[in-house]
Amino acid sequence: MRTVFSAGWLAAWSRGPRSRARWKGRQRLWGRTAASGLPARPSKNGEEVPDFPDRRAPVIETSRHRRRQSVLMLAKRFDAEDAHGRQVARLALRLFDATRHLHRLGEREREILEFAALLHDVGRAISYAKHHKHSHYLITHGELEGFAPEEIEMIAATARYHRGSEPKASHGELAALPASAAATVMQLTAILRVADGLDRSHRGIVRDLTVLRRNRLIRIYVDSGGDAAAFELWDSARAAEMWGRLFDVTLDLKPRRPGGRKGGRTTRSNLTRRLGTR
């Protein structure tokens, strides 16, 4: 039988044992890559090597994508990937960004809030009654990928308290968390409750928010494009009571009239942030 040696093998053999070992490793790796259907690219000396992502490239965006995809897959599995969840997540992030001076939380907590908003109603797949508790169970046992166990517990606890009783440090869902994480869940819950109230009818009528701050007063003007938002304002106002206890502020929600006019008396603020759609 005639044995045929490639140019790459002969070059590796002539350079010594280490070069031969590297060549064999590349061939084994190429075999696994070819079997998986991944493309290959030529190296500097003409050999083909697997076209894997550059190991030097940052992996932060890849990790975030993996986490987001895992959350969306869980929502889809329980038929919770709906417009309401996306609307609540959008409003929650707008409130989070406009009130950073109050909670002083970072990007990690912002992501936890978004994912809790997207998943807050997955418990309806079991039953509407006490669905917030079912959501907590499904999130903690949903095998979310890319998260630390503490982060999963924070997402689940924030989703669990989007309705029903307000969270307390003595509650089982928070008692297992470090004190700082439990305090963060309480703050995120306060934001999520208002955002959920602003889509109480599940019709997505809230288009925009304008947040004004003056001393300890936070006033939110709700733009519903002329549609009646009385139900949303009433429900979110109930949720706003929690802000007074956590942030020592008064949260006041008012409708924004067609044509840009604001409802009720307006006090000029020393800081204004407008929250538009992205």
Whole-angstrom distance, CA of residue 94 vs CA of residue 191 = 10
The per-residue pLDDT for 26 is: 54
Give domain limits for the chain.
7-50, 60-191, 208-275
| Residues in CB range of 164: below 8 A, 6 or more apart | 130, 132, 133
- Report the CATH fold assignment for 60-191: Hypothetical protein af1432 (1.10.3210)
pLDDT digits (tens, 9 = 90+) for 3-53: 444 555 455 555 566 555 655 555 544 443 344 344 444 444 554 444 444
pLDDT digits (tens, 9 = 90+) for 183-225: 999 999 999 999 999 998 888 999 989 999 888 899 999 998 7
The per-residue pLDDT for 229 is: 83
Whole-angstrom distance, CA of residue 182 vs CA of residue 77 = 28
Closest among 39, 52, 54, 25 to 8, alpha carbons compared: 25
Would you say 161 and 172 are in contact if contact means Cβ atoms under 8 Å apart? no
| Residues in CB range of 206: below 8 A, 6 or more apart | 87, 91, 198, 199, 222, 223, 224, 229, 232
- The order of strands in the sheet holding 208-214 is 250-255, 217-223, 208-214, 271-275
Assign 155 a pLDDT band (cuts: 50, 70, 90).
very high
Whole-angstrom distance, CA of residue 201 vs CA of residue 84 = 9
Would you say 151 and 119 are in contact if contact means Cβ atoms under 8 Å apart? no
Q: Give the DSSP letter of residue 259.
A: G
Backbone dihedral angles phi then psi of residue 211, each to the nearest 5 degrees: -110, 125
For residue 277, pLDDT beyond 50:
no
State CA 67 to chain mean position distance: 8
pLDDT digits (tens, 9 = 90+) for 78-136: 887 789 999 999 999 999 999 999 999 999 999 999 999 999 989 988 888 878 889 99
